[in-house]
Structure 1
């Protein structure tokens, strides 16, 4: 397991592709290289951490530098992952698998313009009943690894029925 913020190295060797930070400025970071498109996670942990779904992009850990980290704290949200947040303003900033080589960055913490677009919604089986999915995104009922992508589900906007507007028992799968 990574110790804490000291595992995040500073980089001064190149121009970042993006910068960002928390609301109060106690955490500032730089990202290098391409960013993955945004994935909205609707799992229960993200809902409780962010107050709604979480919109994350991702970079390789080696492409991440945290320059101002006095407020950065980590919470072990499971035995496999942790979440980084600002202890001063409470902003939820990062998510990472402990055995992974990438770090997910809260898209809302990136300084504009980010140039990012949302392409997928995951864990929509757990989404809040008040959340409507945006047309044009790939929808996965479970997580990215455990569920099947449901590209047709995103055409529905009603949330009063089952998952993403489907009646209970329907999966939205196409043959």
Structure 2
């Protein structure tokens, strides 16, 4: 069983996650680019496998009528994406302590990607999800 630790920049949100998916999905939709500052890179885990060891900075934002995003209200780190009613949670790969050993799996919403970069890593690219 793989357990990783991670945190936001200031440490007001700290976590442990068991058995995360060992692949990274890159989302290029406008909403992810605005909230993360570039494209969103995340792994996924079951919500029951995520434990907060510190959550004093955790704030949730309903970014649409079907999903919410978790971030640190103190330092602004973008940390989580969760579809309403789903058992899984997207976790920012950048929040996890290195090394993760994870590999890129796919790019999603590439039809919406920013015009200031290219995708050239060779993993599948999907116009939507």
Per the TM superposition, whether the score is higher than 0.5 is yes
Cross-structure match for 2:42: 56
In structure 2, C-alpha distance between the alignment counterparts of 1:135 and 1:26, rounded to whole Å: 33
Shift of 1:34: 3.8
In structure 2, C-alpha distance between the alignment counterparts of 1:52 and 1:30, rounded to whole Å: 25
Question: What are structure 1's unaligned runs of at least 5 residues?
Answer: 1-14, 144-175
Aligned with 1:27 (options 3, 8, 13): 13
Distance 1:34 1:105, change over 3 A: closer
In structure 1, C-alpha distance between the alignment counterparts of 2:12 and 2:120, rounded to whole Å: 33
Bigger strand fraction: 2
Cross-structure match for 1:67: 53
Cα-to-partner distance string for 1:17-64 (whole Å, 9 max, x where unaligned):
111010000000000124241000000110100111000100011111
In structure 2, C-alpha distance between the alignment counterparts of 1:68 and 1:31, rounded to whole Å: 13
In structure 2, C-alpha distance between the alignment counterparts of 1:20 and 1:101, rounded to whole Å: 20
Shift of 1:16: 5.8
Residue 118 of structure 1 pairs with residue 107 of structure 2: no
Runs of 4+ in 1 over 4 A off after TM superposition: none
Secondary structure, aligned partner of 1:57: strand
Question: What are structure 2's unaligned runs of at least 5 residues?
Answer: none
Cross-structure match for 2:91: 105
In structure 2, C-alpha distance between the alignment counterparts of 1:28 and 1:134, rounded to whole Å: 33
Shift of 1:119: 1.4
Bigger Rg, structure 1 or 2? 1
1:36–1:59 Cα contact (<8 Å) kept: no
Q: What TM-score, normalized by structure 1, do the two folds share?
A: 0.71
Counterparts of residues 21-170 of structure 1 (less than 5 Å): 21-143=7-129
Distance 1:28 1:115, change over 3 A: same
2:20–2:43 Cα contact (<8 Å) kept: no
